[in-house]
Amino acid sequence: MSVALGTTRPLPVRTTPVRDPGNLIVSLPMTAPYAWIRHGEGLVGWGEAARADVPPGPGRFAWAREWLATVFDGALVDDSVRSPGSGPVAFGTFTFDENSPGSTLVVPQAVLARKDGRAWLTTIGDQHLETFTPLADPGRISYGDGSLTAPEWEHVVARAARRIRQGELEKVVLARDLLATAEQPIDIRLLLLRLARRYPECYAFSVAGLVGATPELLIRRTGQEIESLVLAGTTPRGTGPADDLARGEALLASTKDRHEHECAISSVRQALAPLCSSLRTPDEPELLVLPNVQHLASHVTGRLADGASVLDVVAAMHPTAAVGGTPTATAIEVIRELEGMDRAGYAGPVGWIDAHGDGEWGIALRSGIVEGRRARLFAGGGIMGDSDPAAELAEAQAKFRVMQYALEG
């Protein structure tokens, strides 16, 4: 069902340059903030001019595209900035599994943006800007098991590795969840502020209660140019500089992790090639070093052939091997069978799109779903035939620390 406020008549949209607001997050009111921020730049929004709860199923991206066209094409836009992210913008989150409900698109009533030395404010209708309220600390955080205990999840990893060795598939990405309960309601702005400061290389995001900081850029579209950052293959940070260096070198030399990374690159290449007039993928991955883990990373760039929007590219790419597995269809069935939970928006596409089809979408990793005093945190990793369950559990626990830091400070 679609709930669209204000779409029965044209949306009056006005974008004007503003003075540099500094930290975008501190400009947000507490209620339902939207955000996409990296290195202090990006977009934040609040209020709802239009909202759609996207029906699940294989046609969900097509449905979303048609809904966005209805909203954007009918807008009366006064945009003196004329930049990607100006004019009307929709923030969105899509569930990992196409059959799961919960995919959402929202056009905020106000969007504040900061990029490349410029800043602008977009408002829809007679928007009265909400005033900032002080950040609220959630107090003490307690944790409990999610869908599976740690030993149960290790058993699932062992079962998946055995099926890979038997030749059923090459790789499957398995996730687990962790439940957090706070003493006070969780202020999403505080989580965003901590994530943006601690993980500036990542994209801090907030859409419809899904909050996190993902290192993985699924796709960026600027005009006809596109860019994707593929991550697959992970190791925890070391205990000191020497150990850190040794772990990075071991990751680059790991047959298991290099094969996992090549599966992910191949998945992206196959998805993008039909949409692109040119596509460039690197011969060798590089290391992306974050405060908690190191990843094998590859930058993929290309040029779209037929003017597809960023959401068209998202539809073609999701799910990649980096979050599903290889071959994808088999891996998704194994995930449904073994994982024992609904991922909701975790490992699904999250980001924004403007009326010109430009935008940035990431994969919702290092994230959680926040509701009141409770948060459901997610983490996972790629399982291969020689994966060790204890090592995979340790990797997932290292990834949980991102959101645990956001909650605890």
**Cα–Cα distance measured from residue 227 to residue 231, given in angstroms and rounded to the nearest whole number:** 13
* Residue 115 appears among annotated catalytic residues: no
Beta strand 76-79 pairing with 50-53:
unpaired
**All residues at 6 or more sequence positions from 286 whose CB lies less than 8 Å from its CB, including other chains:** 296, 297, 298
**Cα–Cα distance measured from residue 307 to residue 135, given in angstroms and rounded to the nearest whole number:** 42
**Cα–Cα distance measured from residue 243 to residue 77, given in angstroms and rounded to the nearest whole number:** 55
For 70, the 3-state DSSP assignment is: helix
> Number of helices and strands (H, E) in the chain?
8, 23
Hey, which bits of 129-197 come out as E strands?
141-145, 171-182
b/e map 247-274, b = 16+ CB within 10 Å: bbeebbeeebbbbbbbbbbebbbebbee
In sequence order, what DSSP letters do the residues of 6-33 get, joined into one string? TTTS--EEEEEE----SSSGGG--SSS-
Q: Check 154, 216, 360, 392 and give the catalytic one.
A: 216
* Residue 216 appears among annotated catalytic residues: yes
Residue keyed to tokens 């965003």: 192
CB 61 within 8 A of CB 73: no
**Cα–Cα distance measured from residue 16 to residue 110, given in angstroms and rounded to the nearest whole number:** 12
CB 221 within 8 A of CB 304: yes
Query: Closest by alpha carbon to 84, among 125, 46, 113?
Result: 113
Over its C-alpha atoms, the chain yields an Rg (Å, rounded) of: 21
CB 267 within 8 A of CB 323: no
Q: Check 98, 130, 171, 360 and give the catalytic one.
A: 171
Record the tokens describing residue 172, joined without a space.
């499957």
Residue keyed to tokens 């919702």: 364
For 95, the 3-state DSSP assignment is: coil
For 364, the 3-state DSSP assignment is: coil
Residues serving a catalytic function are: 171, 216
